[in-house]
């Protein structure tokens, strides 16, 4: 668990949706940046392509993005993974063809004061589910799948697998109607005790900001593929 939980809690706030924070041309520039960046990972099992926003790319966008985010959350430091040669990464683009499961982006250093994360959709169809429930451990994929829980061959930057959330938030069954509407890719028994705080319906030009302690996942809603930019911060 993180060592400075009380400080982390003091910085927490409800999720925030900022509409029309980016113009059509600015979104086009993000797309141009995405197309320029080299592929970092093509996970064929999950059917997701990941590209790191490297500091040598998109200098003008870097300044614009930092300014917009800073205006909303105040001073922050980036807390994304570094490249193999130790350079900073500004964010992570993901091109997903399947929904991303329940997880937390708590980072990997328990001495850090983790803060906010942001999501900028570059495609219009999709949604992200933010739960009221919070977790103060490292980056984790939550699952009840026995094979996933047995995985130990994790590489640098990969989330651990855990079922520690089961029972942590009580034993109330998850709402069946909400499961059918948003979360059919998740097993109901993996959502026990969880309560939705916000469903962010993707809208190009908008940005979602929420705490890194919030459990969250993609919804089941997807139209072929979706592309988004995620950035993690710390104090």
Helix or strand holding residue 146 (H, E): helix 146-149
pTM above the 0.85 mark? yes
Helix or strand holding residue 89 (H, E): strand 89-96
Tokens 């430091």 sit at which residue?
Answer: 77
Q: What is the CATH number of the domain that holds 112?
A: 2.60.120.620
Full residue range of the structural domain in which residue 224 is found: 5-234
Work out how many domains the chain is built from and give that number.
1
Helix or strand holding residue 214 (H, E): strand 214-218
- Residues 144, 191: contact at Cβ < 8 Å? no
Strand partners, 188: none
pLDDT in tens, the chain (235 residues): 999 999 999 999 999 999 999 999 999 999 999 999 998 876 656 678 999 999 889 989 999 999 999 999 999 999 987 777 777 889 999 999 999 999 999 999 999 999 999 999 999 999 999 999 999 999 999 999 999 998 888 876 689 999 999 999 999 999 999 999 999 999 999 999 999 999 999 999 999 999 999 999 999 999 889 999 999 999 9
């Amino acid at each position: 668990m993180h060592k400075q939980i009380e400080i982390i809690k003091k910085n927490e706030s409800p999720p925030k949706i900022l509409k029309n924070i980016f113009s059509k041309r600015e979104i086009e520039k993000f797309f141009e940046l995405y197309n320029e960046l080299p592929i970092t990972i093509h996970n064929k099992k999950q059917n997701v392509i990941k590209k790191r926003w490297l500091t040598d790319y998109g200098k003008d966008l870097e300044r614009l993005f930092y300014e917009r985010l800073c205006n909303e959350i105040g001073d922050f430091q980036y807390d994304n993974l570094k490249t193999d040669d130790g350079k900073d990464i500004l964010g992570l683009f993901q091109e997903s063809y399947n929904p991303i499961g329940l997880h937390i982006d708590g980072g990997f250093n328990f001495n850090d004061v983790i803060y906010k994360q942001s999501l900028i959709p570059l495609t219009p169809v999709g949604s992200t589910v933010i739960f009221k429930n919070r977790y103060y451990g490292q980056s984790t994929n939550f699952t009840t799948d026995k094979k996933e829980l047995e995985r130990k061959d994790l590489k640098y930057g990969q989330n651990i697998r855990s079922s520690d959330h089961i029972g942590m938030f009580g034993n109330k069954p998850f709402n069946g109607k909400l499961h059918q509407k948003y979360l059919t890719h998740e097993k109901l028994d993996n959502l026990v005790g969880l309560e939705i705080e916000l469903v962010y319906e993707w809208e190009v030009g908008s940005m979602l900001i929420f705490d890194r302690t919030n459990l969250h996942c993609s919804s089941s809603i997807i139209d072929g593929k979706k592309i988004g930019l995620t950035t993690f911060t710390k104090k």
